[in-house]
Amino acid sequence: MEIRRVGASGLRVSRLGLGTMTWGRDTPDEEARALLEMFCAAGGTLIDTAAAYGAGDAERLIGKLVRELTNREEMAIATKAGFVIRGGKRIVDTSRRALLRDLEGSLERLGTDYVDLWQVHAWGDAPLEETLTALDFAVERGMARYVGVSNFVGWQTAQAATWQQAVPGRAPIVSAQVEYSLLARRAEVEVLPAAAAFGLGVFPWSPLARGVLTGQYRGGVPRGSRAASDHFAWFVEPYLEQRSRGVVEAVARAADGLDMSPMQIALLWVRDAPGVTAPLLGARTAGQLAPALATEELALPPEIASALDDVSGGANAGRTAS
């Protein structure tokens, strides 16, 4: 698999990442094993997780499988801190104490001395300078090689990057993780331009619009899908509205014309969008992951990419400029 540089940093990762939000919960251990084996065999190196995923169980499983299946030094493990779910409520705590406590727990669960990329999971109420001192500490102590932010809007991304660049010796922000797909293009307004201005890599999460761009919901909600589950239905429902259907149908038509699956069309559009480092694949089964990995030798014709731009919200300024 092609390896890409994360922004202007020295970190290099595969151009597709393996997302693990469902590990330790909806993805059984043996299925996770099959996913990681397949991903590594295809040359994938980036595994993205978080302290909050499966209440820490995703990290435990990753640590176990990495030790059993591959060489830790060959993998780029990214995790996140500052966000938890307690009593069904989402709690964001980006204080220095909470972040470092999360990181210590992540390292223990992962069974490693360091993570390759440590990210603040969300913007919080703690003073930004306090949050960022935790990132400095983690890099200084060798607990994290690089640091980034996740789910920050444009001005938040720019403020964090500016603060870290202002004084020599601070750990620079090297990446931004944000939702980005044909059904979620808000990142193009501010986040992607901010990332480009500050030399940050971009990791799109949910590049398939929470599964909707695969076309599986064209005829209703299938049994066993995320939209059919009690704890993930809320996650999918925003993209099941009428306004999304035209985009899904356009993706399906492109797939028919290019002899690809809708999933592959949607993934290629994100993977090769300007500024993107690596989309994060949230596959729950090896059967879902295989066609995504099969896109390595594929690319969208420019006219198809532009047509999808138009139908999903307008021309991509970055693509036009390039």
C-alpha span between 102 and 125 (Å, rounded): 17
Residue of 273, 283, 276 whose CA lies nearest to 317: 273
- Residue reference for tokens 């699956």: 261
Q: For 241, phi and psi rounded to 5 degrees? A: -80, 165
| Stated length of the chain | 322
Provide the sign of the torsion angle of the four alpha carbons 192, 198, 199, 201, taken in this order.
negative
Buried b or exposed e, range 42-65, using 16+ CB within 10 angstroms: bebbbbbbbbbbbebebbbbbbbb
C-alpha span between 308 and 302 (Å, rounded): 10
Would you name the residues annotated as active-site residues?
53
C-alpha span between 150 and 105 (Å, rounded): 19
